[in-house]
Amino acid sequence: MIISTAWRRAATLVLVCLAGLLPAVTTPASAAPLPYYSALALRRDLPEPPGADVALKELGELKVEEPHQTPGYSRAKFPHWAKVYGQCDTREVVLARDGKGVTQDSLCRAVAGTWYSPYDSKTLDAASKVDVDHLVPISNAWKSGADLWTTDKRKAFANDLTHSQLIAVSASSNRSKGDQSPDQWAPPNKDYWCTYGRAWTDIKYVYGLSITAPEKKMLGTMLNTCD
């Protein structure tokens, strides 16, 4: 009886913890429940970048240099999207994390939901209109130090759910941005500049990537918009 009671207490604690972690993601009524949906507790809210004071300190410590001109760049050298659990890859995890009322099918594909794109303040009503953006583009990373990385590190960078590196945005804004750095492209929604500058600076700092002088200047401008 003592063992049984302890087990029930432990099980209750686990269920309470999971209740606080699970996002509002459902499978359609026609889809059979899948075991891997119990792993949705692995999801997290959109990672918040460090505050402006920390980002400014990080910015001051980043190496400033011209972009590397190493030949041989290919997106294939940054394997993505990686499977996170079950049928869910990194892209689908981000779509579920960043959207509202997201419904997934048996292959973990988002088939319904809405997404707010902070780059351009657009609300999107279909996953087909959404891109998962590498906030620091992988091509930019290649030119600022990732050319020297192992494939495993590039894969970790391209699928990073821990830092503010992946975000669901409108496909139009993502394609307008391309692989440009903040001095070349900035979110049309200036209210997002503070977050964008903090996130870009922190990703460069965490991964030991360099920045250019114009990039550093614009990041400073973005960070100065923070309250």
Q: Write the pLDDT tens digit of every residue in 32-56.
A: 223 333 234 344 467 999 999 999 9
Q: Write the pLDDT tens digit of every residue in 188-213.
A: 999 999 999 999 999 999 999 999 99
pLDDT band at 227 (very low <50, low <70, confident <90, very high): confident
Token digits for 17? 């913890």
Going by C-alpha positions, the residue among 12, 84, 30, 54 that lies closest to residue 194 is: 54
Q: Write the pLDDT tens digit of every residue in 150-202.
A: 999 999 999 999 999 999 999 999 999 999 999 999 999 999 999 999 999 99
pLDDT above 80: residue 26: no
Q: Which domain holds residue 108?
A: 2-223
Q: According to the model, what pLDDT value does residue 45 have?
A: 64
Domains identified in the chain, total number: 1
pLDDT band at 127 (very low <50, low <70, confident <90, very high): very high
Name residue, tokens 């890859």: 89
* Residues 6 or more apart in contact with residue 25 via CB below 8 angstroms: 40, 96, 102, 103, 104
Q: According to the model, what pLDDT value does residue 2 have?
A: 36
> Helix, strand, coil: what percent of the chain each, to 5?
45, 15, 40
